[in-house]
Structure formats: structure tokens, C-alpha cells
């Protein structure tokens, strides 16, 4: 039974909590889905998908993207107007942010659910239960992130739209006077923007754990994330520092351990197969990854025969899967660490014991107890 002290020392349990095949599998699936969706998004922009902004009217290179995501062919934000170009840039990166929120609202939510139950009850729920919870509460996970962005844009556009009216030639001077008169309203709105920006930037990491631990909606998760951040800002920073440093150390340990495992395997394979068979295979693997990450094309050495090509592709797939599991630990640690930080801040602010967590089994039993059994209708007497 893991003993919880209710202070920063509990953060050193994050390694054991994160090193869970179920969490790492969900993290790996999330990475694959995110990579696939972003690749499709880049491909759409490369083919001219512009959301009706008309920014691909001529060749004009503004932003250079990593080569392994596919080429954007020097026509990414083509325009002669600055505002249209800015709208194109914003919409492009807004699509990427939306993809991350869309994918990790499910996978991150399922990971935090497993971590929340494990922290509170020292039990690891089944993967199917975590997936079911992630699907059932997907809207809460999704809107907890997106609502903050939409609110920030709303208040920002209020100030921007009001000031934009001052550009009207005939009404401009009068509107400028009104803007100066109502300057305090703009300052209040700016204050709300500042608080919202700070809360969303730093407190958004607590939204998923709030939903996973309390089975709550998006607005309650946002409220908890903001209140815990602003109530205990220094403890929040201290917990993040400890969790981040310890996470870096543990990830380096996992990385070195995995590298040694791979090195020993290749070393043994070289002596078993012999250098004549082993060296060409390694060269084919290197050529495979060079082609894959430079152009998203799995095109190994054309001089290989069919057997060598199949073995190279399978070997490369196993290496990619192995590397994916290594980096999935980092994501599992991140979500598990933020869940632990949420429990610690909840205990400090609301004095709620760390063993308190929403349990689906108990809620189902209570629902059955509250529902009275059906009484059979009396048969009419003949």
C-alpha cells in the first residue's frame, strides 16, 4: 500500500505511477493519432486548403515547416495583404492546437483517470474502464481547454472591435472621445484577459485531473484549476519544479536503459548473423529512416530484394514502436504528475483527503438502491 504524506514528497511516487503499460499504451495511441492528424492537416495546406481565406493566390514562402511533416511547396501564406496573411497563419496554427485538444481530450483524460484512481485508492483500473470514462466525459475534457481559448478571444475581440470603429472617417473623432470616456471598461476587460490568460496558461494542466477525479463538467474543472492556482501559486510552482526535475531524471533513466537494451540486442545480433549479413541490414534501416523522415516515404534501397525489403520494413516498425513506448513514458509521467499535483493542491485548498475520488461502481450501486423495485400490478378478480 502506497503511503501518501500529503506534501511535495508524494511527487516522488510519479515514476511508479507513470510506469504503467496501460497509461503508456494510451499515450502511444495518442501520439500516433496526433501525428496522423497533423500530417493530414499539413497535406491539406500543401494542396491549397485555405478555409476560404484566399491565401494561396501565388507562390510566397513565409514559414518553413519540418521536412518530415511533408513539404509545403513554398506557397503557404501567399498574399499581398498583411491582415489576410495573419489570418492564414492564425488559422493554420489554430488547426494544430485544435488537433492536440481533440486527440488528447480522450487519451489524456483516460490516462488521468487511471492515475487518479491509483493515487487515491492504490488500485489500477482496467483499460476498458478508463476508455469508457474518457468517452463518457470527453466533452468535459474537450471544452475545459477550448472554453478558455474562446473566452480569451471573445474579450480580446471586444476591445479590438471597439477600437476598430475609430477608423471610420466621419465618426472617427467622436468615437475616439467615447473610447477615452469608456477607457475604464477597457482596463477592466484587459484585467479579465490577464487573469484568464495566466489562469489558462498555468492552470490548464489541472483541468483534466479535476474531471478525472471529480467526474465533473468543464466549467467546474476550469473553476477548480483557477482557484487552486491563485490560492496556492507558490506551492503550484514548487510542485511543478519538483515534478519536472524528477521527471527529467526518470526519463533520462528510461532513455539510457532503453538505449542499452537496444545496443545489447544489436550487439548480439551482429555476432549471431555475422558482419556480412548484419551490416547491409543496418544500412537499409538507416536508408529507410532517412527517406521516412525526409519525405514521409518508406522507400528503402531499391537494390534490395523482396525478402530484404520486407525484413527492413518490419524491423523499422519494431524500432519505431519501441521508441514510441519510450517517449510515451514522458507523456504518461506528465499526466500522472499533474494528477498528483491536483490532489496535493486540493488537499491544501479544500482540505479534501487525497483518498477521495469519484468511483463509478459506488455510483451505480447507489443508483440501484435509490430506484425502487417494480411492483407487479394486481390481477383483477373474476
The reply to whether 1 falls in a domain is no
- Answer with the residue of higher pLDDT: 233 or 277: 233
Give residue 332's pLDDT: 95
Q: What is the pLDDT of residues 76-119, one digit of tens each?
A: 444 445 566 677 778 888 899 999 999 999 999 999 999 999 99
Query: Residue 73: left if φ>0, alpha if ψ -120 to 50, beta else—which one?
Result: left
pLDDT-derived band at 63, boundaries 50, 70, 90: very low
Residue 181 has pLDDT above 80, yes or no: no
Give residue 52's pLDDT: 47
Which stretch of 37-51, 113-127, 198-212 has the lowest confidence by average pLDDT?
37-51
Among 68-82, 187-201, 224-238, 289-303, name the most confident range. 224-238
| Boundaries of domain holding 137 | 8-356
Which stretch of 188-192, 245-249, 288-292, 372-376 has the lowest confidence by average pLDDT?
372-376
The reply to whether 370 falls in a domain is no
Kindly report the number of other CB atoms within 10 A of residue 193's CB atom.
18
HSE value, Cβ hemisphere, 13 Å, CA-based, for 296: 14
The domain total for the chain is 1
Residue 265 has pLDDT above 70, yes or no: yes
The reply to whether 375 falls in a domain is no
CA angle 29–66–100, rounded 5-degree value: 35
Give residue 19's pLDDT: 92
pLDDT-derived band at 132, boundaries 50, 70, 90: very high
Query: 56 forms bridges with which residues in the sheet?
Result: 78
Among 41-45, 243-247, 315-319, name the most confident range. 243-247
Task: Decide: 145 and 204 in contact? Cβ < 8 Å.
Answer: yes
Burial profile 166-183: b = 16 or more Cβ within 10 angstroms, e = fewer? eeeeeeeeebeeebeeee
Residue 1 has pLDDT above 70, yes or no: no
The reply to whether 27 falls in a domain is yes
Can you tell me which residue has the cell 501520439?
31
How far apart are alpha carbons 45 and 99 in whole angstroms? Answer: 14
Give residue 191's pLDDT: 87
How far apart are alpha carbons 231 and 252 in whole angstroms? Answer: 33
Give residue 209's pLDDT: 96
Give residue 59's pLDDT: 42
What distance, in Å, lies between the first and last C-alpha atoms of the chain? 65
Residue 40 has pLDDT above 60, yes or no: yes
Residue 364 has pLDDT above 70, yes or no: no
The reply to whether 365 falls in a domain is no
The reply to whether 378 falls in a domain is no
The reply to whether 164 falls in a domain is yes
Give residue 103's pLDDT: 95
- Taking alpha carbons only, the member of 8, 3, 4 closest to residue 236 is 8
Task: Decide: 141 and 134 in contact? Cβ < 8 Å.
Answer: yes
As a whole number, the mean pLDDT across the chain is 79
Residue 133 has pLDDT above 60, yes or no: yes
Give residue 77's pLDDT: 44
How far apart are alpha carbons 105 and 110 in whole angstroms? Answer: 8
How far apart are alpha carbons 227 and 337 in whole angstroms? Answer: 19
Q: What is the pLDDT of residues 157-175, one digit of tens each?
A: 888 877 777 666 666 667 7
The reply to whether 274 falls in a domain is yes
Amino acid at each position: 500500500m502506497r503511503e501518501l504524506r500529503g506534501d511535495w514528497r508524494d511527487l516522488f511516487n510519479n515514476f511508479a505511477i507513470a510506469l504503467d503499460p496501460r497509461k503508456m499504451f494510451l499515450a502511444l495511441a495518442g501520439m500516433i493519432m496526433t501525428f496522423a492528424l497533423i500530417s493530414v492537416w499539413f497535406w491539406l495546406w500543401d494542396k491549397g486548403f485555405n478555409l476560404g481565406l484566399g491565401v494561396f493566390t501565388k507562390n510566397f514562402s513565409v514559414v518553413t515547416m519540418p521536412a518530415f511533416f511533408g513539404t509545403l511547396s513554398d506557397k503557404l501564406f501567399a498574399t499581398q495583404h498583411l491582415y489576410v496573411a495573419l489570418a492564414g497563419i492564425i488559422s493554420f496554427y489554430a488547426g494544430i492546437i485544435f488537433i492536440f485538444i481533440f486527440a488528447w481530450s480522450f487519451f489524456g483524460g483516460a490516462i488521468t483517470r487511471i492515475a487518479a484512481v491509483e493515487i487515491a485508492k492504490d488500485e489500477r483500473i482496467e483499460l476498458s474502464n478508463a476508455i469508457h470514462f474518457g468517452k463518457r466525459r470527453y466533452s468535459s475534457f474537450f471544452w475545459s481547454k477550448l472554453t478558455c481559448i474562446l473566452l480569451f478571444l471573445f474579450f480580446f475581440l471586444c476591445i479590438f472591435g471597439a477600437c476598430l470603429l475609430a477608423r471610420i472617417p466621419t465618426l472617427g473623432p467622436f468615437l475616439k472621445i467615447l473610447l477615452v470616456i469608456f477607457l475604464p471598461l477597457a482596463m477592466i476587460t484587459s484585467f479579465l484577459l490577464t487573469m484568464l490568460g495566466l489562469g489558462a496558461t498555468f492552470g490548464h494542466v489541472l483541468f483534466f485531473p479535476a474531471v478525472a477525479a471529480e467526474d465533473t463538467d468543464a466549467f467546474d474543472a476550469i473553476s477548480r484549476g483557477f482557484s487552486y492556482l491563485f490560492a496556492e501559486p507558490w506551492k503550484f510552482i514548487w510542485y511543478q519544479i519538483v515534478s519536472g526535475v524528477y521527471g527529467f531524471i526518470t526519463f533520462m533513466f528510461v532513455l539510457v536503459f532503453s538505449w542499452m537494451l537496444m545496443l545489447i540486442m544489436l550487439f548480439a545480433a551482429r555476432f549471431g548473423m555475422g558482419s556480412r549479413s548484419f551490416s547491409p541490414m543496418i544500412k537499409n534501416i538507416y536508408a529507410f529512416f532517412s527517406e521516412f523522415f525526409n519525405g514521409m516515404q518508406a522507400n528503402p534501397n531499391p537494390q534490395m530484394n523482396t525478402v530484404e525489403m520486407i525484413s527492413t520494413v518490419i524491423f523499422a516498425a519494431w524500432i519505431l514502436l519501441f521508441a514510441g513506448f519510450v517517449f510515451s513514458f514522458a507523456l504518461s509521467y506528465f499526466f500522472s504528475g499533474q494528477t498528483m499535483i491536483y490532489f496535493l493542491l486540493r488537499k491544501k485548498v479544500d482540505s479534501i483527503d487525497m483518498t477521495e475520488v469519484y468511483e463509478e461502481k459506488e455510483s451505480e450501486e447507489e443508483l440501484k438502491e435509490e430506484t425502487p423495485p417494480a411492483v407487479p400490478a394486481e390481477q383483477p378478480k373474476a
